[in-house]
Amino acid sequence: MTKGKILYERDKTPLHWSERTMIDPESPPNSYVLEWVQKAENDFEAAVALLNLQTGTFNDIICYHCQQCAEKYAKAYLVHRAIEFARTHNLLELLELCQKRDVAFATIHIQMDLLNNYGVDIRYPGRFTSLEEAQGAVEAMNTIRTFYRSKLDLT
């Protein structure tokens, strides 16, 4: 069996997100954790801005951005605490890992469960959401965001 052609030298490619960890998980968030936070904040801002348009056209996109915000905050926390996690969009799997570190995460289970429904299927035909669902998703996202920001000392 022959090896494939090398496209990139290892030392010249940036580390994949799953290969980056913190040296001291008790220290303040490092720049990589803050990259996750910035991505989460982008989803937060997008969801809020689209909801404020009140057109009813973007409900499923709002719900998707809410799920993405929650997912990225969960991953920011896990990276900050140097907790390994599989590549997943399942908020409940990520939450379970967080709860192993801190039982207080149980307080956001209902909100994470709600948003978990908007991670994948919402992006494809056959599933549409109402304005009320979008509003509920934004409320859940706000609760989750506030909780994770407090755990990351970003208040």
* pLDDT tens-digit readout, 62-92: 999 999 999 999 999 999 999 999 999 999 9
pLDDT of residue 1: 46
pLDDT of residue 54: 81
pTM: 0.82
CATH code at 29-151: 1.20.120.330
Residues of the chain with pLDDT under 70: 1-29
pLDDT of residue 5: 58
Question: How far lies 153's CA from each of 83, 124, 140, in Å?
Answer: 18, 36, 20
110: left (phi over 0), alpha (psi -120 to 50) or beta: alpha
pLDDT of residue 4: 55
Give domain limits for the chain.
29-151
Tokens of 13: 């490619």
